């Protein structure tokens, strides 16, 4: 007995997984934003405790402005990651993946947006990680960069460069496809 998995079935599974990841990233980004507002405007003792038991309480006690900068960077990275998966969900939901003509302007725009989002995530993650390193050097007890979801800036940068190259390949593919359409 042979099991055949079609491209459409794979895309359906990827769409479900993308929705799950998107919802999780929205909850994560919303949690960072809500907790920051709650701590700053209502109850400073309500600093969020991470899974490893660490908090940003020492940072808040050290400097409220540094706390705001750090949670802002964490929120920006979280929102950009959620936005990236929103674009993936949107492309899969709207069925813009045309396998007959994959080199089209909507796919090129999608790939370009993904590349820019990855670059933004890389820059803000590196900035946030740099702030954490600086604060730890000053003696502030901080969670690790991975716990704050600011790790992997180099991976995000690598992915953005790769996507920028793929965007250029897509542009050339669109040109060739248009030339082919004109010759027929």
pLDDT (0 to 100) of residue 57 = 83
Would you kindly state where each structural domain of the chain is located, as residue ranges?
Answer: 7-183
d(CA 91, CA 87): 6
d(CA 49, CA 70): 15
Chunked mean pLDDT (size 10), the chain, 184 residues: 81 91 94 87 76 76 90 95 94 76 82 95 95 92 88 94 93 81 63
d(CA 182, CA 149): 49
The answer to whether residues 129 and 151 touch, using CB atoms and an 8 Å cutoff, is yes
Helix (H, G, I), strand (E, B) or coil at 55: strand
pLDDT (0 to 100) of residue 52 = 62
Using CA atoms, how far residue 109 sits from 10, 178, 180, in Å, is 23, 17, 21
pLDDT (0 to 100) of residue 95 = 75
The answer to whether residues 71 and 56 touch, using CB atoms and an 8 Å cutoff, is yes
Instruction: Name residue 55's beta-bridge partners.
Output: 49
pLDDT (0 to 100) of residue 176 = 83
pLDDT (0 to 100) of residue 184 = 54
Radius of gyration of the chain (CA): 21
d(CA 7, CA 25): 26
Residue with the two structure tokens 């979801």 = 149
pTM higher than the cut 0.85: yes
d(CA 118, CA 145): 18
The answer to whether residues 116 and 167 touch, using CB atoms and an 8 Å cutoff, is no
């Amino acid at each position: 007995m042979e099991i055949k998995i079609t491209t459409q079935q794979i895309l359906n599974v990827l769409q479900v997984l993308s929705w799950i990841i998107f919802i999780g990233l929205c909850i994560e980004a919303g949690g960072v934003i809500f907790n920051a507002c709650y701590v700053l405007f209502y109850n400073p003792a309500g600093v969020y405790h991470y899974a490893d038991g660490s908090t940003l309480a020492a940072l808040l006690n050290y400097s409220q402005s540094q706390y705001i900068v750090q949670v802002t960077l964490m929120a920006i990275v979280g929102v950009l990651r959620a936005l990236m998966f929103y674009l993936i969900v949107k492309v899969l939901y709207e069925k813009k993946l045309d396998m007959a003509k994959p080199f089209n302007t909507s796919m090129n725009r999608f790939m370009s947006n993904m590349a820019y989002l990855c670059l933004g995530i890389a820059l803000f993650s590196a900035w946030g990680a740099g702030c954490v390193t600086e604060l730890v050097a000053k003696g502030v007890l901080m969670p690790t960069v991975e716990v704050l979801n600011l790790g992997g800036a180099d991976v995000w940068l690598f992915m953005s460069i790769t996507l920028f190259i793929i965007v250029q390949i897509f542009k050339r593919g669109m040109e060739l496809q248009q030339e082919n359409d004109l010759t027929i």
